[in-house]
Amino acid sequence: MGRTGQVDVACYHCGDPCAEEHRSYDGKDFCCAGCEAVYDLLQESGSCTYYELGERPGLKQGAGVDEPRVELFASATVRERIVEFAEDGIMRVRLHIPQMHCSSCIWLLENLHRIAPAVIRSRVSFTDKEVTVTFHEDRMGLTELVALLRRIGYGPQLTGGMRRQGGEARVPRLLYVRLGVAGFIFGNTMMFSFPEYLGADTEAGIKAGLQWMAVLFSLPVVFFLSADFFRSAWAGLRARQVNIDQPIALGIVALWTRSLWDVIAGSGPGYFDSLAGLLFFLLIGRWYQARTYRALRFDRALEDFLPLVVLRKTANGEEPAQVADLLPGDRIVVRDQELVPVDAVLRAGTAHIDNSFITGEPLTVRRSVGDTIRAGGRQRGPLIELEVLRTFSESRLKQLWAEHGGARVRPAMPRLMDQVARRFTIVVLLIAAGAGLYWWGKDTSQVWPVVTAVLIVACPCALALSMPFAYGHAMRLMGRRGLFLRDAEVVEHLARTDMVVFDKTGTLTAREAYDVRWEGPRLSARDRSLVRSLAHSSTHPLSAVLHRELKEPLTEVDEAREHPGAGILGLVDGFPVRIGSAAFCAGSERPRTNGEAHVHIGINGAHVGHFVVTKRARTGIVEAVNRLRRHMRVALLTGDAQVDRDLAGPFQGALVRTGCSPLDKARLIQQEQAQGHRVVMVGDGLNDAGALMQSDVGITVTETSAALTPASDAIMDAGAIVALPHFLRMARRARRIVLASLGISLCYNITGVSFAVSGHLTPLIAAILMPLSSVTVVGFVTVATLLADREPSGHAPA
C-alpha cells in the first residue's frame, strides 16, 4: 500500500478524485481507507462481479428525495424506532437497507467491523432488507454509522421495512391502489373493445376514437402499474443477474409496442384489453404472494409456543411460568446462567449481566437495584429478582437467537431451489425466442401473443413459495407440539440427519420422582440451609433436586459461579460452599449402583459428604428411543459413571459413553460426523453447549430460560421429548412435500408453456393461470403438511 501526490486519479471503487488521501492497493487507486477496505472484502468474498456493474459501481450518492438526512438519525423519535439496546457505551440498531440484492451485499454488510473497527457485529435479514449493527457508541456515533453505510452505497431509510417492535408486516398500501386502478382500466378497456368483440359494423371514426382511448388508458398500465416489474428487471440487468420479473417486463413491452403499432398503422385494435387484464391478474398474483409471505412470518405466532420457563414469585412462594404468560408488574427469579427473558427492573440482589447474547461482547456489567435490564442479558452470579416491564412478545429475544444461527452451513434444499429458479428464467427466455422465430415463419400475427403468453405463463413463483411455505408450516406444527426451531431451514437440517445423540441427566431423566439420601456426617440445619440456598442459584437438574429435597429456609448468596461439567461454587452467608463432582469438592469417588448420581458437598474448603440421587427415566422415553432405533443410529453420552437401569435396555448395543466431560461429548460427535453421520444432539443448554454447537442440529431440552443459547438450533419442551420420533418423521415428510410441490410446479409450467407455444393460450389467460399456479402449490403444501403431522397407528417414523 502506498500514497502518491496525484490528485487527478479517480477512485477505482467510487469514482471520486483521489485528493487528500490517495491510496494504492492491488494495482488500483482508492480515495480513502473505506473504499480500499470495501474492495478488499469484495475480492475476498468473490460472490458477484461487483465491479462489472458499471463504470463506478461504488458511487457515493447524494441524498435523494427518499433518503433521509443523516441528522435525522440523531433525533429522539428516530432513535426510539431503530435503537434496540444502548448501555455502557454499546449500541445495537436495526436499519432498513433496501439496496441489498445479492450475496455480496450480505457479505459486505456483515463485515462492517473490518471497515470500521468500532463495529462489533452486524447481521443481515435479507427478506426484510434489514441489518442489525452492534457498535461502540463512544467510538462511533449513530450518525457516523449512517454516514458510513451511505458512503459504501447502503444508505438506510426510515420507511419500508422498518417496523416497530411487535408490529406486523402488512401488504403495501400502494399495491391495493394499483389493484384498484388496474381493475378500473381493465373494465373500461374491455368496454372500448366491445365493437371488436361483437363484430359490429361501427363507423370508422368511432372505431378509431375507441382505439385511441384504449391507447390513452394503456399509458398508466405501462408507466404506473408495471413500474415494479420494470424496476426489478432493470436492477437484475444492472447486477448481471436473471430474475423472474425480466420475462414479465419483456412481455409487457412486447404486447404494448405491438398494440401501439397496430393502432398507429391502422391494422387493428391491438391487445390493450389483454394488456390491462394481464396487469390486473399479475397484480392479483403479487397481492397473493404478499399475503402468503406475510403468513410465512411465523415468528410472532411461534413466540407463544417458545417453551421457556421462569420462576414467577407469588403470594405462596415461587411457581414455574411460561415466558409468554408474563405480564408487566410480575416478579420473576433469574438464577446463575439464566437469560433475562423480558425487559425488567432489578428489585433484589446484585446483577452481573453478560450482554454477549445481544452485543457479542463477553463483558459482564454490574447492575444495582432499580436499574433496567434488557431481555437477552445472562445473569452470572447468585439469583436476582426482577419486575417485568414489557411482555415477551416485545423483547426481540427470538430474533436475537435467530441471529446466532448465521454460522450454520446453509442446507442443500434452499440452494437447489435458488438454482432452479435462476435457471428457469433463462430457459423461459430461450423458449420464448424460439417460439417467436417459429411463428415468424408461419403466422406473423401470432408472434407477439405467443411470445407474451410464454413469458407470462411460465413463472417460478410457485417454486419460490413451496420450500418456505412447507418448512414454515412444519415449523409451526412442531412448535405446537413442543419443539421450537430457530428458523425454517432447521427443518431441512433435521430431515437429513441419521443419528441421534442423547445427554442423560435432565434430558432422558425427569426432574421429579427422584430418591435422595445423604451419606456422610450429619448436616446441621445451618449447613443444609447453605446448600439449599446455593442450589437455588443453579439451573442444573441435580441442584433443582437438592433445592426441592431440603426444606431449610434460604439465606443470602453473595457470589455464585457455575462450572459446566463440574459444579457450582458460591459465597453463602459468608461461607464458601461447593456443590458438584467429587474432584470439584475436594472429595473422593464412591462406588455407585444402578446409575446413581453422587452430588458432593464442600463447605469452608472441606468435603463434608455427598447426596445419592436415584434418577428415573421420563415417562415414555424408553418407547421413544426404541422407535428411533428402528430407523436411526442412537447414542448416549453422560457424565455419570453408570447408566440407569431404566435406560440400559433401550441403549443396549448402541454407542454409550459414561464419564464424559462437555469437551468429550463434542469430540465424540465430531468423530461420528467424520464417518459420514449427520447428528442430532439432544441435551441441556449449559453443560452440553459444545456438543450442541458441534452437531448438525442441536436441540435443548428445557425447563428453564437457560435453554436459549446460541449453540442450540431448537428448544424442546421437556414433556415433548417422547415425540422426537414424530418430529424427525415430520421433517422428512416436509422435505418430500417440497420435492412433490416442485414437481407439480414444473408440470404446470411445462403444460402451460406447451399450450402457449402452440398458440392456444392468450396472454390474458396466461395471466389468470399465473396466480392460480401459486394458489395450487400453496394449497397442496398446506393440506399435505397438515396430513403429515398426523400420528399414524404404530407411531413408527417414516
pLDDT by residue (tens digit) across 352-390? 887 766 665 666 778 889 988 888 788 887 888 999 998
Mean pLDDT of 776-781: 81
Mean pLDDT of 188-213: 72
Band (pLDDT 50/70/90 cuts) for residue 525 is very high
User: What pLDDT is stored for residue 362 in this prediction?
Assistant: 61
In the numeric block, the cell 432447521 is attached to 490
Band (pLDDT 50/70/90 cuts) for residue 501 is very high
Mean pLDDT of 539-545: 81
User: What pLDDT is stored for residue 241 in this prediction?
Assistant: 64
Q: Cell numbers for 324, please give them.
A: 409468554
Output 165 or 338, whichever has higher pLDDT: 338
User: What pLDDT is stored for residue 331 in this prediction?
Assistant: 92
- The C-alpha angle 232, 234, 239, rounded to 5 degrees, equals 95
> What percent of the chain lies above the pLDDT cut of 70?
76
Main-chain phi, psi angles of 592, to 5 degrees: -125, 155
Cα separations (Å) of 79 from 64, 134, 137, 153, 774? 21, 14, 13, 22, 40
Band (pLDDT 50/70/90 cuts) for residue 614 is confident
User: What pLDDT is stored for residue 347 in this prediction?
Assistant: 92
User: What pLDDT is stored for residue 594 in this prediction?
Assistant: 67
User: What pLDDT is stored for residue 65 in this prediction?
Assistant: 40
Among 403, 415, 396, residue whose Cα is nearest residue 306: 396
* Choice among 70-74, 166-170, 462-466, 694-698 with the minimum mean pLDDT: 166-170
> What percent of the chain lies above the pLDDT cut of 90?
13
230-258 tens-digit pLDDT: 887 776 676 566 666 777 787 788 778 87
Question: Pairing state of beta strands 119-125 and 384-388?
Answer: unpaired
Averaged confidence pLDDT in the chain:
77
- Residue 526 CB contacts under 8 Å (≥ 6 apart), including other chains: none
Output 327 or 742, whichever has higher pLDDT: 327
User: What pLDDT is stored for residue 674 in this prediction?
Assistant: 93
SS3 267: coil
Specify the DSSP element, H or E, that contains 314.
Answer: strand 309-314
Q: How far apart are CA 335 and CA 630, in angstroms?
A: 40
> What torsion do the CA atoms of 52, 58, 63, 65 make, to the nearest 10 degrees?
20
Output 18 or 704, whichever has higher pLDDT: 18
Mean pLDDT of 116-132: 81
CB atoms within 10 A of CB 297: 14
Mean pLDDT of 661-670: 88
CB atoms within 10 A of CB 441: 8
Say if residue 630's pLDDT is above 50.
yes
708-718 tens-digit pLDDT: 566 678 888 87
Mean pLDDT of 303-319: 72
Output 653 or 456, whichever has higher pLDDT: 653
Band (pLDDT 50/70/90 cuts) for residue 57 is very low
Output 129 or 183, whichever has higher pLDDT: 183
User: What pLDDT is stored for residue 171 in this prediction?
Assistant: 62
User: What pLDDT is stored for residue 154 in this prediction?
Assistant: 79
User: What pLDDT is stored for residue 56 in this prediction?
Assistant: 44
Say if residue 681's pLDDT is above 90.
yes
Band (pLDDT 50/70/90 cuts) for residue 524 is very high
757-773 tens-digit pLDDT: 888 877 667 666 766 77
Half-sphere exposure of 716 (CA within 13 A, CB side): 25
User: What pLDDT is stored for residue 482 in this prediction?
Assistant: 84
CB atoms within 10 A of CB 96: 17
User: What pLDDT is stored for residue 398 in this prediction?
Assistant: 61
Q: Are 533 and 567 in contact (CB under 8 A)?
A: no
Q: Are 537 and 559 in contact (CB under 8 A)?
A: no
553-582 tens-digit pLDDT: 988 888 888 887 788 999 998 899 999 999
User: What pLDDT is stored for residue 579 in this prediction?
Assistant: 94
Cα separations (Å) of 557 from 126, 310, 551? 45, 19, 17
User: What pLDDT is stored for residue 687 in this prediction?
Assistant: 66
Q: Cell numbers for 357, please give them.
A: 447474547
Say if residue 647's pLDDT is above 50.
yes
DSSP state letter for 10: B
Evaluate the CA torsion angle 336, 685, 486, 511 in order and state its sign.
Answer: negative
Say if residue 434's pLDDT is above 80.
yes
Output 593 or 559, whichever has higher pLDDT: 559
User: What pLDDT is stored for residue 63 in this prediction?
Assistant: 41
Say if residue 170's pLDDT is above 70.
no
User: What pLDDT is stored for residue 730 in this prediction?
Assistant: 93
Q: Are 588 and 606 in contact (CB under 8 A)?
A: no
Evaluate the CA torsion angle 791, 792, 795, 798 in order and state its sign.
Answer: negative
Say if residue 299's pLDDT is above 60.
no
User: What pLDDT is stored for residue 22 in this prediction?
Assistant: 75
Output 754 or 201, whichever has higher pLDDT: 754
Which string of b and e fits 65-79 if b means at least 16 CB within 10 Å? eeebebeebeeeebe
In the numeric block, the cell 421420563 is attached to 618
Reported pTM: 0.64
| Residue type at 277 in one-letter notation | G
Mean pLDDT of 647-674: 87
